[in-house]
Amino acid sequence: MFILDHLWIIIALPLLGAAINGLLGKNFSKPIVNSVGIGSVALAFLSFAEAVREFSQLSPNQIPWVKTYFTWITAGQFKVDFSLQVDQLTIVMLGVVTFVSLLVHIYSTGYMAHEEGYYRFFSYLNLFVFFMLTLVLAANVVLMFVGWEGVGLCSYLLVGFWFLKQSAISAGKKAFITTRIGDFGFTVGILLLFWTFKSVDFNTVFKQLISGPPDAAVSTGVLTTICLLLFTGAIGKSAQLPLYVWLPDAMEGPTPVSALIHAATMVTAGVYMVARMNPLFSRAPFAMFVVALVGALTAFFAATIGLVQTDIKKVLAYSTVSQLGYMFLGLGVGAYASGVFHLLTHAFFKGLLFLAAGSVIHAMGGDQEMPHMGGLRNKIPITFWTMFIATFAIAGIPGFAGFFSKDEILDAARSGPNANIWLWLLGLIGAGLTSFYMFRLIFLTFFGKPRYDDHKVHVHESPRSMTVPLILLAILSTVGGWVAAPHFVGGTDYFEKFLHPVFATYAPAVAEGPAEAFETPGMILLHALTGWPVLIALAGLLVAWWFYIKSPETPKKLSDSLRAPYALVLHKYYVDELYNAAIIQPLLWISTNVLWHVLDETVIDGTVNGVARVARESGSELREIQSGNARSYATWVVIGAVGVTVLMIGLWGMVR
C-alpha cells in the first residue's frame, strides 16, 4: 500500500519539479528543464497507476481511503488537517489530471521550443499540476480551496506568461479577478458549512447528514444556501454565466495552457466540487435546479457566440464554456456520473482540439484567424485527422466519446428524476449549434481553397513531440466513451457503476418512480441511434457542410440580411462592454475619487501628517520656555511653589 499510505508523494512530485525548474531552471539547458518538468509529472502519473492498482485491492468499507498527515489549523472548534483521500471519483480525476498534464508537458517541449522563459513555463505548469492534485486529493473543503486558489494563481501566471504583451497581462488579471468574485461566494459557503456542521471534513459532514436525528436535521434552506454559495465559486472557476468572461480572454496564453487549464483541468474543478458535494446538493432541490439552469443557459448562450467567431482559439474557448454548461446540466438533474463522464470525455477531445489548434497555429506561423486559413488538410495531415476525430467526438456523432456522455446527460434531462423539458430543449439546441460551429471550424480551416499567401506562410507539420500527444488523445476520444457503451445496448454503464458508491452512499431516500417499460437491447440501441441528439448533431454537420463547402457564399448572405443579430453575436452580446460600464468604471471612479482622494489622502495622510505636525508645532512652542532668562525661570519656580502650597492647604488640608 505504498502509494496509498504516502499519498503526499503524488502532489509533492510536481511541486518539487516546479521548485527545481523555478529556482534553478535559468541555468539549465533545455533537456534538463524538460526532464525535470516532464519527469515529475510522469512520476506522478506512474504513482497514480500504482495507486489504482492498490485501490483495486481495497475492500468497499475502506473506501473512501483517507490519510491525515498533520494538523494544519486549530482555532477553537475550527480544525483543518492536511488529509488526502482517495475514492472512485478521485481516481477518475487523478487519471484525467496526470495523464492530460503529461501529454501537455510533452507537447510543450515542441510548441514552446523557441520561447524565452522556457524554464519558467515548465515551472508554472508543474506548479499548476501540484495545486490541481491538491484540489482533487483533498479530504476537506479548506484544503480543496487551497488547491482552488492555487490553480487560479497558476492560471494568472500562465495566461500572462508573455508578460510583455499588454493584452496578455490584462487577460491574466481578468481571469484572476473574475474567478475571485466566485471565490468570495465559495469562502462564505465554507464558513456557513463550518458553522452548520462544525467541521469542514467531507466525510464528517456527509455522515452528519444521514446519521443525525430527524428533528435535528439541517434545514433545507441552510443546505440550499451553502450549495448556492459553493456553486458561485464554481460559476467563477468553471466559467459559467455570468462569470464566464475571463475564459475567452484567457486564450492570450500559450495554447498548451489553454489545453491543460482551460479545457481539461482547472475549469473542471467546479464540476468536481459539485460532484464531491453531491450529498448536500441532493438534499437541496432548488440548488440543483439552479445548477442545471445555469448549465443549460450557459451551454446555449456560449454556443451562439461560438457560431460566428473567427479566431480559432476563441471558438474553442466558447465551446469549452458551453460544454462545461452541459456538465453542470448533468449534475443538476441528478445524473452525477454522467456529468463526470462528460468531464472525462471532454478532457480528451477538448484537450485534443486545443493541442491540434496549437499545431495549426504553429503551422501558420502564429496566425490564429480562420479567414486566413483554408485547405490545410493535405499539408498537415496528422493534425487534420486528429482534429477531425475530435470534432466528431464533440459533436456527439455515435461511436465517439462525446456521443455517450452527451447523450446520457440529455437523456437524464428529458426523462430522469429531476427532468425539465425546457432544460432539455436548451441542451438539445446547444448540441446542434455545437455540431455546427465545430464542423464550421474544420471546414474553414482544413477544406476549401487556401486563403493565405503561400510565399509568406510556410505550412509544415509539427514535430513529433507535438503530434504524438495528438494521436494518443485521438485514440482516447474514440474509445474513451466505450466504458459506457454497454448501457446503450441494455447492459450496465461501467463508468457509472464504478462511481456509484460516491453518489449513492449519502444519497437521500428517493421514492420509487414508475418502473421503466421493458425494452429489448435492440430497441434500446435503435432509440439511442435515432434519438434527438444524434439527429440534431447530423443536422449541424449538414448545415455546416452546406454553408462552408457546398455554397460558401451563404454565410455572407445570411450575415448581411441578419445584420443586427449577427453584430450582436459577433460582439459576444456586448457583455464585456456591459460589465465595463456597469461595474468596472463605477468601481474605478469610486476607488479613485472616494477611496484614494478622500480616504487615503485626506483622512489617513491627514491624520498621520497631522500627528507629526502637532508634535512638531507643539515642540516648537514649548522650546520657547528655555529663553535663557533667569527671571522667567524664577517665575516658573514660584509658580510651582504656589501650586504645591495650594495643594497642601487646599486639597490636602494641612492647615487645620
Partner 1 sequence: MTLPFIVFFVCAFLAVIGALTLILAREPIHSALSLILVMVSLAVLYLLLGAEFIAAVQIIVYAGAIMVLFVFVIMLLNAGVEERTDYSKLAKYAGLPLGMFLLLALAHWMAHSLIGQQIANGVGGTNASVSTRELSAQLFQKYLFPFEATSILILIAILGALVLAKKDE
Partner 2 sequence: MSIVPISYYLVLSAVLFGFGIIAFVVKRNIITIFMAIELMLNAVNLAFVAFARAHNQLDGLVFVFFVIVVAAAESAVGLAIIITVYQNRQTLNLERINLLKF
- Residue reference for cell 501566471: 157
What are the backbone angles phi and psi of residue 179, rounded to the nearest 5°? -70, -30
* Smallest separation, CB 621 to partner 2 (Å): 12
Nearer to partner 2, 214 or 628 (CB): 628
DSSP string, 379-393: TSHHHHHHHHHHHHH
Nearest residue (CB) to partner 1, 581 versus 646 = 646
Query: Is there a contact between 450 and 375 (Cβ–Cβ < 8 Å)?
Result: yes
Minimum distance from residue 75 beta carbon to partner 2 (Å)? 55
Task: Choose among 180, 186, 123: nearest CA to 157.
Answer: 123
- Closer to partner 1 by CB, 515 or 655: give it: 655
639 binds, among partner 2, partner 1, none (CB under 5 to 8 A by kind): partner 1
Burial of 233 per CB tally in 10 Å (0-12, 13-18, 19+):
buried
Q: How far, in Å, CA of 133 to CA of 572, rounded?
A: 34
Q: Which does 645 bind (CB under 5 to 8 A by kind): partner 1, partner 2, none?
A: partner 1
Min CB(655)–partner 1 separation in Å = 5
In 3D space, the residue among 253, 240, 261, 224 whose CA is nearest the CA of residue 182 turns out to be: 240
**Does 166 engage in binding with partner 2 (CB under 8 A)?**
no
Which entry of partner 2, partner 1, none binds 655, CB below 5 to 8 A by partner kind?
partner 1
In the complex, what is the shortest distance from the CB of residue 633 to partner 2, in angstroms, rounded to a whole number?
10
Assess 652 for contact with partner 1 (CB under 8 A): no
Contacts of 56 (CB under 8 A, 6+ apart): none
Nearest to 296 by CA among 147, 456, 156, 406: 406
User: For residues 114 and 131, what is the distance between their CA atoms, to the nearest angstrom?
Assistant: 27
* Contact range with partner 2 by CB under 8 A, out of 394-402, 477-485, 491-499, 622-630: 622-630
User: For partner 1, which is the closer residue by CB, 592 or 632?
Assistant: 632
Question: Is 622 a residue that touches partner 1 (CB under 8 A)?
Answer: no
Residue 618 in contact with partner 2, rule: CB under 8 A? no
Among 310, 580, 593, 627, binds partner 1 (CB under 8 A): 627
**Rounded to 5 degrees, what are φ and ψ at 518?**
-75, 135
Q: Which three cell numbers stand for residue 183?
A: 471565490
Per rule CB under 8 A, is residue 623 in the interface with partner 1?
no
Q: Which own/partner pairs from 203-207 qualify as long-range (CB within 8 Å, at least 24 positions apart)?
A: 203/64, 203/66, 203/85, 203/139, 205/279, 205/280, 206/279, 206/505, 206/506
Single residue of 634, 647, 652, 653 touching partner 1 by CB under 8 A: 634
The vertex-322 CA angle with 525 and 302, nearest 5°, equals 130
Q: Does 603 bind partner 1 (CB under 8 A)?
A: no
Using the CB atoms, write b or e for 283-312: b if 16+ within 10 Å: bbeebbbbbbbbbbbbbbbbbbbbbbbebb
The residue among 550 and 623 lying less far from partner 2, judged by its C-beta, is 623
Residue 647 interacting with partner 1 (CB under 8 A): no
3-state secondary structure string across 249-260: HHHHCCHHHHHH
Q: Which region, judged by CB under 8 A, interacts with partner 1, from 288-296, 389-397, 444-452, 627-635? A: 627-635
> Do the beta carbons of residue 480 and residue 352 sit within 8 Å?
no
User: Does position 631 bind partner 2 by CB under 8 A?
Assistant: yes
Interface with partner 1 includes 588 (CB under 8 A)? no
Q: Does 655 bind partner 2 (CB under 8 A)?
A: no
- Closest to partner 1 by CB, 75 or 625: 625
Can residue 630 be called a binding residue for partner 2 (CB under 8 A)? Answer: yes
The Cα 423–Cα 343 span in angstroms is 19
With CB cut-offs between 5 and 8 Å by kind, which of partner 1, partner 2, none does residue 35 bind? none
To partner 1, the closest distance from the beta carbon of 652 in angstroms equals: 12
Does 645 bind partner 2 (CB under 8 A)? Our answer is: no
If the CB atoms of residues 215 and 621 are measured against partner 2, the closer one turns out to be 621
Q: Report the interhelical angle of 8-24 vs 30-56 (nearest 10°).
A: 180
The yes or no reply on residue 621 touching partner 2 (CB under 8 A) is: no
C-alpha cell at 411: 437523456
Q: Given candidates 588, 598, 614, 641, which one binds partner 2 under the rule CB under 8 A?
A: 641
523 binds, among partner 2, partner 1, none (CB under 5 to 8 A by kind): none
619 touches partner 2 by CB under 8 A? no
As a whole number of angstroms, the distance between CA 495 and CA 404 comes to 11
Q: Counting contacts by CB under 8 A, is residue 655 touching partner 1?
A: yes
| Given 598, 635, 647, 652, the residue binding partner 1 (CB under 8 A) | 635
554 binds partner 1 (CB under 8 A): no
At 294, is the secondary structure helix, strand, or coil?
Answer: helix
Q: How far is CA 593 from CA 275, 519, 604, 610, in A?
A: 44, 70, 14, 22
648 is an interface residue for partner 2 by CB under 8 A? no
Residue from 217, 635, 647, 652 binding partner 2 (CB under 8 A): 635
CA distance 419 to 137: 32
580 binds partner 1, rule: CB under 8 A: no
Q: Does 656 bind partner 2 (CB under 8 A)?
A: no
Which range, of 8-16, 203-211, 291-299, 633-641, touches partner 1 by CB under 8 A?
633-641
Residue labelled with grid coordinates 483554408: 374
Q: How far apart are CA 271 and CA 238, in angstroms?
A: 7
CA distances from 112 to 30, 169, 265, 335, 353 (A): 11, 19, 20, 40, 18
Q: Least distance to partner 1 from the beta carbon of 591, Å? A: 53
Question: 117 — phi, psi (to 5°)?
Answer: 70, 30
Query: Segment contacting partner 1 (CB under 8 A): 48-56, 449-457, 589-597, 635-643?
Result: 635-643
Binding residues for partner 2, rule CB under 8 A, total 12
With contact defined as beta carbons under 8 Å apart, do 50 and 72 qualify?
no
Which of these ranges, 73-81, 268-276, 598-606, 646-654, lies near partner 1 under the rule CB under 8 A? 646-654
Among 562, 581, 599, 639, binds partner 1 (CB under 8 A): 639
> How far apart are CB 620 and partner 1 at their closest, in Å?
18
Question: Is 638 a residue that touches partner 2 (CB under 8 A)?
Answer: yes
Grid cell of 193 as nine digits: 458549512
Among 56, 77, 166, 626, binds partner 2 (CB under 8 A): 626
Q: Specify the DSSP element, H or E, that contains 605.
A: none
Binding site for partner 2 (CB under 8 A): 623-624, 626-631, 634-635, 638, 641
Binding site for partner 1 (CB under 8 A): 627, 629, 631-632, 634-636, 638-639, 641-642, 645-646, 649, 654-656
